Chains A and B, each alone.
Chain A
Amino acid sequence: KAGVTQTPRYLIKTRGQQVTLSCSPISGHRSVSWYQQTPGQGLQFLFEYFSETQRNKGNFPGRFSGRQFSNSRSEMNVSTLELGDSALYLCASSRWGEANVLTFGAGSRLTVL
């Protein structure tokens, strides 16, 4: 079965711009979460959605936002990009009742110039 699909895989933006990243979870998985991975900070939780509702949010500024659609697909948006936003953004989905077993996508690598 298809895994978690993230698009785009790579993108380059300049400071001040905004970006939207997309995630299609595994079929049947209703929970989607987003993580930011950088060499300095490691893997950090951004937010989690279940049935179109944000269930948890990490310690990131309001420039980071997300949403989930009725088909469980999710998007995250970063506005007013800063150099420090350069990172690998990972999306993960999980089956109800198996919160520890996250299936991650390959990520969207964002470079901010």
Chain B
Amino acid sequence: GESVGLHLPTLSVQEGDNSIINCAYSNSASDYFIWYKQESGKGPQFIIDIRSNMDKRQGQRVTVLLNKTVKHLSLQIAATQPGDSAVYFCAENIGGDTDKLIFGTGTRLQVFP
């Protein structure tokens, strides 16, 4: 069935370190996997997406890795900054031009000075 989950509810990192946020998914038919960031009092904000036929995609300070063998998705944030403190959600899109996303439960990233 459709489900997207996360391994850890809270991740604490020191400023300047790299962060890795993990996500497990179960729907092998998903076409895209996406990461969103939600800061307190705001709606989620798109970070990066990756198509199911790729295994890595890089953005500015972020890298998403997709391992279809073990149905695992990760978001790596380089040189984590205080402004990265937020809740991070992975999501999957089953395909087609639809805005229907299945979101995971979220991981809270706390950045300490």
Contact = CB atoms under 8 A, between A and B. Distances in A.
Interface of A: 4, 31-33, 35, 42-45, 48, 55-56, 58, 90, 92, 94, 96-97, 99-107
A105 B99 contact: no
Interface of B: 32, 34, 36, 41-46, 49, 89, 91, 93, 96-106
A31 B99 contact: yes
Given A35-B103, A45-B102, A48-B98, 4 more contacts: A42-B104, A55-B99, A56-B99, A102-B99
Secondary structure type dominating chain A contacts: strand
Given A42-B105, A43-B89, A101-B49, A33 B43 contact: no
A4 B43 contact: yes
A92 B106 contact: no
